[in-house]
Structure 1
Amino acid sequence: MARPSAYIESSRHSIFYFCIRIPKPLRSSFPRPDIRRSLETKCRREAVIRRASMLEQVQSLFSSVEEGRKADLSRLS
């Protein structure tokens, strides 16, 4: 299990963001080498909870790209 602060960054406005590097073999399928999405909260505890959901979605996205499907970042919420 990832440590509580893994994949979480704070903006200068104290909003928490989910951030993850795309694995090198999959980068050609994405427009950027990383994914950064707002967790829409200033509360660290809530950010950790939302991070778990976002991590599941990203791992599912990576799996679908490995299977040959197109990377659809709009599915991430």
Structure 2
Amino acid sequence: MQDVPIRDTVIRLGQFLKLAGLIDSGAEAKTEIGDGMVTVNGEVELRRGRQLVVGDVVGHAGRCARVIPG
């Protein structure tokens, strides 16, 4: 699992996927999230705009990234 720092107190799921390098583009994030391929804290998340906070763990394609303070 990789730790990914964020500047603010929250970040949207689509933005975090790109920041963490789990997804290459916003369009890919939209598709992957909509297809149920992304998890937040172990549960499938279908909302690209889901607000993530410090400590949340995002998973995609066998890789995980944790939100940490920046």
TM-score band by shorter chain is: under 0.3
TM-score after normalising by structure 1: 0.23
Higher relative contact order (CA 8 A, sep 6+): 2
Bigger Cα Rg: 1
**Larger proportion of strand:** 2
**Larger proportion of helix:** 1
TM-score after normalising by structure 2: 0.24
